[in-house]
């Protein structure tokens, strides 16, 4: 698993579009809420849907999905869809 920090100053939507073009299957967003509740947003490339989950559970879930152990649908069932306001 590899990662890259995008601190380009672009909007989150433009950053997602850039990762979509590259075919990156999952994007993790750290935001101001992360500082308060230790959660991040995990976005699926194929569905473009998001979940909010604890930082401590991100690597395990992404690795499990990449390895075919669990599916995105199972992650959504566990954490629920996240819709930003």
pLDDT in tens, 30-71: 889 999 999 999 999 889 899 999 999 999 999 999 999 999
**Position 1 pLDDT exceeds 70:** no
pLDDT bin (cut points 50, 70, 90) of residue 7 is confident
Question: How many angstroms separate the CA atoms of 17 and 66, rounded?
Answer: 21
Predicted structure pTM score: 0.82
Question: How many angstroms separate the CA atoms of 42 and 45, rounded?
Answer: 10
Going from N- to C-terminal start, the domains of the chain cover 25-79
Beta-sheet pairing, 39-44 with 50-54: antiparallel
CATH superfamily of 25-79: Anticodon-binding domain (3.40.50.800)
- Range with the lowest mean pLDDT among 7-11, 22-26, 67-71, 72-76? 7-11
């Amino acid at each position: 698993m590899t990662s890259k920090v995008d601190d380009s100053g672009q909007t989150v939507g433009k950053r997602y579009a850039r990762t979509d073009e590259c075919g990156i299957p999952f994007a993790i967003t750290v935001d101001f809420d992360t500082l308060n509740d230790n959660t991040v947003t995990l976005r699926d490339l194929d569905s473009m849907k998001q979940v909010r989950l604890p930082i401590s559970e991100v690597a395990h879930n992404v690795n499990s999905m990449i390895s075919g152990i669990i599916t995105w649908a199972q992650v959504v069932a566990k954490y629920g869809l996240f819709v930003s306001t």
